[in-house]
Structure 1
Amino acid sequence: MSETVVVVVPDADILASTVAARLVVKIIDAQAQRGWASVVLTGGRIAAKVLRSVKDLPASDAIEWSHVDLWWGDERFLPAGHPDRNETQAREALLDALPLDPARIHAMPPSDGPDGDNPEAAAARYARDLAAAAKPGSSELPHFDVLMLGVGEDGHVASVFPEHPVTYETGTTAAVHNSPKPPPVRTTLTMSTIQTAEEVWLIAAGPDKAAPVGMAIEGTGWRQLPAAGATGTDRTLWLLDRPAAAKVPPRARSLR
Structure 2
Amino acid sequence: MSGKALDERVGYVRLLFKNRAYCAQSEKYWVTDQSQCLPRQIVFYIGHGELGSPAVLVSRNLFRPSLPSESWKEVEGQPGLRLFGRPLSDYYAYSPVREQDAYSILISHIFHCRKDSFITTENLLASWVFWTPLLDSLAHEVPRLYPGGAENGHLLDFEFSGNQLSFSQQQLEQLVPGPGSVPMPSDFQVLRAKYRESPLISAWPEELIAKLANDIEATAVQAVRRFGKFHLALSGGSSPVALFQQLAMGHYGFPWPHTHLWLVDERCVPLWDPESNFQGLQAHLLQHVRVPYYNIHPMPVHLHQRLCAEEDQGAQLYAKDISALVTNSSFDLVLLGMGTDGHTASLFPQSPTGLDGEQLVVLTKSPFRPYDRMSLSLPLINRARKVAILVMGRMKREITMLVSRVGHEPKKWPISGVLPMSGQLVWYMDYEAFLG
For residues 349 and 200 of structure 2, the distance between their equivalents in structure 1, rounded to whole angstroms, comes to 22
1:157 to 333, 341, 344: 344
Residue 4 of structure 1 and its aligned partner are, at CA, apart by 1.6
Conserved? CA contact 1:217–1:228, under 8 Å: no
Matches within 5 A, 1:85-234: 85-111=276-302, 113-114=303-304, 116-120=306-310, 121-135=313-327, 139=328, 141=329, 143-168=330-355, 170=357, 171-177=359-365, 179-220=366-407, 221-232=409-420, 233-234=422-423
Per the alignment, residue 81 of structure 1 pairs with: 272
Conserved? CA contact 1:72–1:106, under 8 Å: yes
User: Which amino acid counterpart does residue 97 of structure 1 have in structure 2?
Assistant: H
For residues 216 and 202 of structure 1, the distance between their equivalents in structure 2, rounded to whole angstroms, comes to 13
1:66 to 257, 265, 275: 257
> Per-residue displacement from partner, 1:78-111 (whole Å, max 9, x unpaired)?
0121111111101110111111111111110133
Larger radius of gyration: 2
**1:96/1:167 CA distance change after superposition, 3 Å:** same
Normalised TM-score (structure 2): 0.51
For residues 134 and 76 of structure 1, the distance between their equivalents in structure 2, rounded to whole angstroms, comes to 23
2:432 to 239, 243, 248: 243
For residues 258 and 406 of structure 2, the distance between their equivalents in structure 1, rounded to whole angstroms, comes to 37
Conserved? CA contact 2:354–2:376, under 8 Å: no
Conserved? CA contact 1:119–1:175, under 8 Å: no
Q: Give identity over the alignment, percent.
A: 25
For residues 151 and 219 of structure 1, the distance between their equivalents in structure 2, rounded to whole angstroms, comes to 15
For residues 102 and 114 of structure 1, the distance between their equivalents in structure 2, rounded to whole angstroms, comes to 22
Which one has a larger percent helix, Structure 1 or Structure 2? 1
Per the alignment, residue 9 of structure 1 pairs with: 203
User: Which amino acid counterpart does residue 226 of structure 1 have in structure 2?
Assistant: P
**1:119/1:191 CA distance change after superposition, 3 Å:** farther
Q: For 1:222, what is the secondary structure of its paired residue?
A: coil
Per the alignment, residue 188 of structure 2 pairs with: none
Conserved? CA contact 1:161–1:167, under 8 Å: no
> Which segments of 5 or more consecutive residues in structure 1 lack a partner in the other structure?
248-256
Alignment RMSD (CA, Å): 1.8
Per the alignment, residue 53 of structure 1 pairs with: 246
Conserved? CA contact 1:115–1:122, under 8 Å: no
> Per-residue displacement from partner, 1:150-195 (whole Å, max 9, x unpaired)?
1111110000001122355521111113x11221001001111111
Residue 216 of structure 1 and its aligned partner are, at CA, apart by 2.7
Aligned length: 235
User: Which amino acid counterpart does residue 397 of structure 2 have in structure 1?
Assistant: A
Q: For 1:45, what is the secondary structure of its paired residue?
A: coil
For residues 16 and 114 of structure 1, the distance between their equivalents in structure 2, rounded to whole angstroms, comes to 39
Conserved? CA contact 2:308–2:373, under 8 Å: no
User: Which amino acid counterpart does residue 331 of structure 2 have in structure 1?
Assistant: F
> Which segments of 5 or more consecutive residues in structure 2 lack a partner in the other structure?
1-196
Normalised TM-score (structure 1): 0.85
For residues 435 and 210 of structure 2, the distance between their equivalents in structure 1, rounded to whole angstroms, comes to 20
Q: For 2:202, what is the secondary structure of its paired residue?
A: strand
For residues 187 and 169 of structure 1, the distance between their equivalents in structure 2, rounded to whole angstroms, comes to 15
